[in-house]
């Protein structure tokens, strides 16, 4: 009809198709449907000032087979493709080549990534993701599961990135002359990555080393005294070999040393909160300077598998100030920890608070104390009986 604007008619038609499609698929629970509809992409997407976006609800879009849909120009930032079928994307044709806060599960990529920006992207469950780090910008927080790397990563922000399940991930530390050398690795999971270079001058708070290897296929080796920071909180050190005892005040909060070798620390270098929630298997405590671990409070530490963990209390009944203080042990596993030789059982119970929340060799510490007391009573009973019998026999 000549009296109607053709573009207006098309827009109204597309709007009605979207509404009809939504109403029909709202309660549909079968396999994604294959649509043979003219201008399908205009039905599914709308053009915005910053790329095209889905014009229908994501829950509805997931019920449509996307095999014949072109995603060129789509703004994928903030989008989650989980549950979609048939999505194929040329990464170099999405809006601004930018991937941020994007979950790419189920997506198949048709070309290698080239000059793309990757920030907080999850590739887990995707196919065909080939990434040359020298041709793309890696910002942070990416999950590289199912990614094939086409070269070494020498200049990037890999903080909070996860390399578990990736292939050919080679991370070169402290490469001179590059714009953004890798020396801050906060929160990175290095599983399945190969590390080239030393960690000297690096910050490693929160790094998971489990499954990482050096360029020779050997375990990661770290000199604690050459790190940029002695904050080891929340690290997972499985497979790491420490080359020297720590000579600096060290924060170990939440760290897991299970499977590591050579971690040796002098107890006078521990600060309050240092051991909280740490798994200390493989850790050796050097008590030479002050006789043991002397902290006012330890929360959630697991001493199983540690050596030299002699725990002293700040309590001192002869000191008018320290007489009112007690070291507090909260929810600790005290297996393989021990108390000073001078601490008899009653003194231990007087010197510490929170022992009723702790465990020892798989049972509550209270139960362990009762077992100890019962064994002592039994032992003394046997001795007392022998004494009594000897006296009767002599009478």
Distance from C-alpha of 199 to C-alpha of 183, rounded to nearest angstrom: 8
pLDDT tens across 85-130, in order?
999 999 999 999 999 999 999 999 999 999 999 999 999 999 999 9
Model pLDDT, residue 371: 85
The answer to whether residues 313 and 374 belong to one domain is: no
Residue 234 in contact with residue 253, Cβ under 8 Å? yes
Number of separate domains in the chain: 3
What's the angle, vertex CA 148, arms to CA 146 and CA 152, rounded to 5?
Answer: 135
Q: Is 92 left (phi over 0), alpha (psi -120 to 50) or beta?
A: alpha
Burial class of residue 86 in the structure, from the number of CB atoms within 10 Å of its CB (0-12 exposed, 13-18 middle, 19+ buried)? middle
- Is the distance from CB of 310 to CB of 291 less than 8 angstroms? yes
Q: Are residues 6 and 57 in the same domain?
A: yes
Residues 165, 231 within the same domain: yes
Indicate if 15 and 150 belong to the same structural domain: no
User: Are 224 and 335 members of one domain?
Assistant: yes
- What pLDDT is recorded for position 166? 98
69, 89, 124: which is the final residue of a domain? 69
**Does 90 lie in the same domain as 48?**
no
Instruction: Judge if 142 and 275 occupy the same domain.
Output: yes
Residues 62 and 88 in one domain: no
Residue 37 pLDDT: 84
Query: Is 289's pLDDT higher than 70?
Result: no
More confident residue, 37 or 357: 357
Integer Cα distance of 135 and 199 in angstroms: 25
Question: What is the structure's pLDDT at 347?
Answer: 86
pLDDT tier, 380 (very low <50, low <70, confident <90, very high otherwise): confident
Say whether both 358 and 289 belong to one domain. Answer: yes
Model confidence over 1-54: pLDDT tens digits? 565 577 788 889 999 999 999 999 999 999 999 998 888 999 999 999 999 999
**What letter would DSSP give residue 92?**
G
Domain boundary residue among 69, 95, 115?
Answer: 69
Task: Say if residue 141 is in the same domain as residue 280.
Answer: yes
Domain-terminating residue out of 21, 45, 69: 69
pLDDT value for 263 = 97
Whole domain around residue 59: which residue ranges? 1-69
Band of pLDDT at residue 325, cut at 50, 70 and 90: confident
| Pair 310, 345 in one domain | yes
Tokens of 273: 């909160």
The tens digit of pLDDT for each residue in 210-251 reads 999 999 999 999 999 999 999 999 999 999 999 999 999 999
Same domain for 236 and 357, yes or no, is: yes
Tokens standing for residue 223: 């000199």
Tell me the pLDDT of the chain averaged across its residues.
93
Q: 């298997």: which residue's tokens? A: 281
């Amino acid at each position: 009809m000549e009296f109607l604007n053709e573009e207006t008619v098309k827009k109204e038609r597309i709007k009605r198709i979207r509404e009809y499609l939504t109403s029909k698929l709202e309660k549909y629970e079968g396999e994604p449907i294959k649509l043979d509809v003219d201008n399908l992409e205009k039905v599914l997407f709308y053009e915005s000032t910053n790329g095209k976006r889905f014009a229908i609800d994501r829950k509805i879009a997931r019920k449509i087979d996307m095999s014949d849909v072109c995603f060129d120009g789509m703004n994928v930032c903030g989008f989650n493709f989980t549950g979609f079928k048939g999505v194929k994307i040329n990464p170099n044709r999405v809006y601004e080549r930018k991937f941020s806060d994007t979950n790419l599960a189920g997506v198949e990529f048709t070309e290698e990534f080239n000059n793309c920006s990757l920030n907080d992207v999850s590739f887990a469950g995707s196919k065909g993701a080939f990434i040359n780090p020298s041709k793309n910008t890696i910002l942070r927080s990416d999950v590289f599961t199912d990614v094939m790397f086409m070269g070494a990563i020498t200049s990037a922000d890999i903080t909070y990135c996860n390399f578990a399940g990736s292939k050919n991930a080679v991370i070169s530390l402290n490469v001179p002359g590059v714009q953004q050398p890798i020396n801050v690795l906060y929160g990175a999971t290095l599983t399945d990555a190969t590390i080239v270079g030393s960690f000297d001058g690096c910050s490693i708070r929160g790094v998971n080393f489990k499954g990482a290897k050096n360029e020779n296929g050997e375990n990661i080796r770290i000199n604690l005294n050459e790190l940029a920071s002695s904050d080891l909180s929340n690290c997972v050190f499985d497979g790491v070999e420490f080359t020297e005892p720590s000579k600096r005040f060290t924060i170990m909060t939440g760290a897991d040393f299970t499977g590591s070798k050579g971690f040796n620390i002098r107890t006078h270098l521990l600060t309050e909160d240092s051991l909280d929630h740490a798994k200390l298997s493989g850790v050796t405590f050097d008590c030479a300077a002050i006789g043991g671990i002397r902290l006012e409070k330890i929360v959630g530490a697991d001493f199983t598998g540690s050596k030299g963990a002699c725990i002293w209390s700040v309590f001192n009944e002869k000191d008018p100030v320290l007489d009112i203080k007690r070291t507090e042990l909260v929810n600790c596993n005290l297996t393989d920890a021990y108390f000073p030789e001078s601490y008899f059982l009653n003194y231990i119970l007087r010197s510490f608070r929170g022992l009723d929340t702790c465990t020892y060799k798989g049972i509550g510490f209270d139960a362990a104390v009762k077992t100890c007391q019962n064994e002592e009573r039994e032992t003394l009973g046997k001795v007392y009986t022998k004494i009594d019998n000897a006296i009767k026999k002599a009478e």
